[in-house]
Amino acid sequence: MTTENQIPYSYAIRLRLLGNEIFAIELAAADTSNRLLAAGLVTVFCLLTVLGAYGDKFIKLYQDLMGA
């Protein structure tokens, strides 16, 4: 089975739970520099998501380590 209409260099992040798609992001690029840009955007998004979820714990850990 071939998919001829698939965009070259496309990246997709999907979170599925019991067959239902909860979250989905798809980035497509046609050039190497655009692929790096897409990977950078995905990295920044993941970093912001982790900081949003665990930011308070990171701040408390940093304060405990610095003795504040």
The DSSP-derived string for 3-15 is: -TTPPTTEEEEEE
Domain-embedded: residue 5: no
**Domain tally for the chain?**
1
- Mean pLDDT confidence for 19-41: 74
Q: Long-range CB contacts (< 8 A, 24+ apart) of 23-27?
A: none
Domain-embedded: residue 3: no
Q: What is the pLDDT of residues 50-66, one digit of tens each?
A: 888 998 888 888 888 88
Give the predicted TM-score (pTM) of the model.
0.47
Q: Can you name the residues that pair with 26 across neighbouring β-strands?
A: 12
Q: Can you name the residues that pair with 53 across neighbouring β-strands?
A: none
What does the block give as tokens for 68? Answer: 């504040």
3-state SS assignment for residue 67: coil
Domain extent, residue 22, equals: 10-66
